Structure 1
């Protein structure tokens, strides 16, 4: 069984360290880790540290620090511009994409997005969802979640792939070069004026079936992970 992972601002130095705060509470009180059990610490920037529990306390663990590892960032990187969806569908999309290796997520206030963000709370929920998915999937890198952007605010770079139900080119066959930006529309799809706003994007499709916005990005990431040799 893989070791549980906890995120910390910085990997500690030395041989002994106390994990406290929210992560310490979760490790000690929720997961009930005890003396002799092993775990991983990550700084979310490629650093991993294996440790064993020396002593358990209420809301904290004393750890013996062991092996350290540095995981290189993905190259090329994959950014997903995710159309903002309503309710739990958006957070499901974020969770799945994080587990499947996305490097950066840009919430997109698309023309046909039903949900309209009026404050910072939704993006903070996306960031919290990313943290939990990183821990669940034992990732060494924490994907960035930017602030929400409108179509005019998007700056798309690298190979830009636009998932569209009327596209003829399969995602499995289009040329890839450099970093990749994948554009996923909201529940209502991508509006015609938005297609015109992305003149350099390559429209692609996953197959005959039409996927929900909550699963399309994850499915596309799986295809790209195979093509890029990540899997």
Structure 2
């Protein structure tokens, strides 16, 4: 059943306009009596049935409220060094499906891509659209927040004081470190906030990792293999899901 994020708080009656209305009627060919899933701004969700369709909107009523949540039991912020090509789009799409709460592109020292501020608004809009569609597909109740790219200094100024702070550093993996990530996840409690930083294609510099450690980030490897910049966040999210949702 198709899921839609509506720009209104939960209510027994629903009005749908704009792009969602177009998708329902023109793409999905929905008719009166058909059902869809609504996710409201207060994170409640429900099965709704279409009652009436006009030229530019439709009205529906709630048939059944969803009780089970599909959200991670923790908040997860993924900070990714700006990668080349469309890799960031892939990280946002797959990371949304895997449960991330927020994405922060990171202007790392070794980032080859230079962020064009003139095109920033359109890029963020595209990232938000990708996250919304991925959240609908994976039946989430929230759409991750997409930040504009930040420098390391800007990131460190906004890190929540109570966050579990991790940095994936490939040199740790090369040296055989394999337990720190697992040990930190075992300490995480429901409701915690995890912030994890990943480098771009060339990895993080020693100076960046040193600065992060000075701000209480814990450096860890992600297994014995060196992962691509677009693979590492997905590996981490899958591991967090296993530890907090499947294993417990």
Are the structure 2 counterparts of residues 91 and 44 from structure 1 closer, same or farther at C-alpha, using a change threshold of 3 Å?
farther
Structure with more of its chain in helix, by fraction: 2
1:36 to partner: Cα distance:
2.6
Stretches of structure 1 that go unaligned for 5 or more consecutive residues are: none
Structure 1 residues 224, 29: closer, same or farther in 2, change over 3 A? same
Q: Secondary structure at the match of 1:198?
A: helix
Q: Deviation string for 1:101-159 (max 9, x for gaps)? A: 01111111111111111222323322221111111111001211222210111123422
Determine the structure 2 residue equivalent to 1:32. Answer: 29
- 5+ unaligned residues in a row in structure 2: which ranges? none
* Change beyond 3 A, Cα 1:4–1:145: same
Change (3 A) 1:57 1:219: farther
CA distance in 1, matches of 2:107, 2:77: 16
Return the TM-score normalized by structure 2. 0.82
1:162 to 2:163 alignment: no
Structure-2 residue corresponding to 1:147: 148
| TM-aligned CA deviation for residue 72 of structure 1 | 9.0
Query: Which of 179, 182, 187 is matched with 1:176 structurally?
Result: 187
Deviations 1:75-103 (A, max 9, x none): 43111111111221110001111100011
CA drift of 1:194 comes to 0.7
Report how far residue 44 of structure 1 moved. 4.7
Cα distance, 1:59 vs structure 2: 5.3
In the superposition, relative to structure 1, how do residues 34 and 79 fare at CA in structure 2: closer, same or farther (>3 Å)?
same
CA 1:124/1:176 → structure 2, altered by over 3 Å: closer, same or farther? farther
Query: 1:27 touches 1:60 (CA, 8 Å); kept in 2?
Result: no
Deviation at 1:5, TM superposition (A): 0.6
- For residues 148 and 92 of structure 1, the distance between their equivalents in structure 2, rounded to whole angstroms, comes to 16
Is contact 1:46–1:73 with CA below 8 Å preserved after alignment? no
Residues 54-133 of structure 1 correspond to what in structure 2 (within 5 A)?
Answer: 54-56=51-53, 60-69=57-66, 71=69, 74-119=72-117, 120=120, 121-133=122-134
